[in-house]
Amino acid sequence: MTTKFKIILSIILVFQFFFTYPIASTEIPRSFFVNTTNGQPHSIIVVGKNAASMDLISGNLIITKIQNEAYYENYVYVTISGSKQMEAFNGQSITLNPSSMDLIWKDNAGNTGKFAYDQSIGLINLRCDTTDSNNLKIFIDQNQNPLSILNPEVNRNVTISPDYSLELLDNNGNLPGLYTSGASVRFNAIFKKQQPGAFQHVKINIWEPEKLITNDQILIEAVAKNNNVILVGGPVANNIVAGLVQRGMSKVDWYTSPGEIEYIPNGLYLGHDVVIVAGADREKTRNAVLQLIKS
């Protein structure tokens, strides 16, 4: 089986190299072939057991389509963070500037590295009023309504904005309070910002692609109930297609078809769809398969 499969794959590569795909007549959603949340295949290809070998080759060509669709979109975001120890004297204006800090970036995949802004952005101007050691007042930019930090000895973590916070440091040795009234206040200026996210495609490797194809005589019911089904060949070549034609679910005249793709919602089982890829003969079936691959 392994040797046969390798031969078939070699033939597939020859077809892909020498044939120009016709324009697709039917667009099949990517969600038909794979689970778009994780990229894993959830479709099975079924050829006729007694069909011509060309149908088996055509069926294996569809594996390349599933492989191309086997990816998922991962939302990647980057968090930039850093800090800098600073000191502000009573009434002195100072500027919090992320470009003056040692910044690092980290994404949700655990990758990390140094980060540097090309220019100063996200600047915040502060002015501290330290005249009351029990009520530190911090004026932000031009706002005349300060943040009042009552009992700064206890409340040492101060949120300035969504991107900035302060960690108050002891500037007064062993004396009570962080600082002497009217003196300077020391703090760590902490910057943390999440950059806008982006999507990346994460490719899934299908290690056993031969398991994506079977024939109409050995298709297991449990497999059909849990996968979308791609039927290769018309009613003469594929018994399952013949059954869909008899039940009136397939509307195409496959005996005269130049090669078509028919999408049948809930074709075999509720919640899973069927695609028939077929034509009046093996050559026209191959043309339909090439349309599917191109879509």
Strand order in the sheet with 43-47: 213-215, 43-47, 228-232, 272-278, 260-269
What pLDDT, on a 0 to 100 scale, did the predictor assign at position 247?
92
Quick check: 215 pLDDT over 50?
Answer: yes
pLDDT of residue 3: 54
**2-70+205-294 fold:** Chitobiase; domain 2 (3.30.379)
Q: Give the pLDDT of residue 1.
A: 47
Q: Which residue has the higher pLDDT, 294 or 26?
A: 294
- Give the predicted TM-score (pTM) of the model: 0.57
Residue with the two structure tokens 């078509």 = 260
The average pLDDT across 55-69 equals 90
Where does the pLDDT of residue 26 fall: very low under 50, low under 70, confident under 90, or very high at 90 and above?
low
- 183 forms bridges with which residues in the sheet? none
Contacts 24+ apart (CB under 8 A), 246-251: 250/276
Q: What is the mean pLDDT of the chain?
A: 84
pLDDT score at 59: 87
Cα 106 from Cα 194, distance rounded (Å): 9
Query: Dihedrals φ, ψ of 214, to 5°?
Result: -150, -175
Report phi then psi at 268, rounded to 5.
Answer: -110, -40
Could you tell me the CA-to-CA distances from 273 to 13, 103, 226, 243 in Å, in that order?
Answer: 28, 51, 10, 15
The rounded distance, in Å, linking the Cα atoms of 212 and 67 is 10
CA distance 136 to 208: 66
CA dist., res. 134 & res. 279, Å (int): 86
* Nearest-angstrom CA–CA distance, 34 and 27: 15
| Model confidence at 24: pLDDT above 70 | no
| Residue pLDDT, tens place only, 119-150 | 556 789 999 999 998 999 999 987 889 999 99
At 71-124, the pLDDT tens digits run: 887 767 788 899 999 999 999 999 998 888 888 888 777 778 888 766 556 789
Q: Which helix (H) or strand (E) holds 125?
A: strand 124-129
Pairing of strands 228-232, 43-47: parallel
Determine the average pLDDT of the residues in 245-249: 93
Q: What are the tens digits of pLDDT across the range 274-290?
A: 999 999 998 999 999 99
Tokens representing 172 are 């007064």
- Give me the residue spans of the domains in the chain: 2-70+205-294, 75-200
pLDDT of the residue at 144: 85
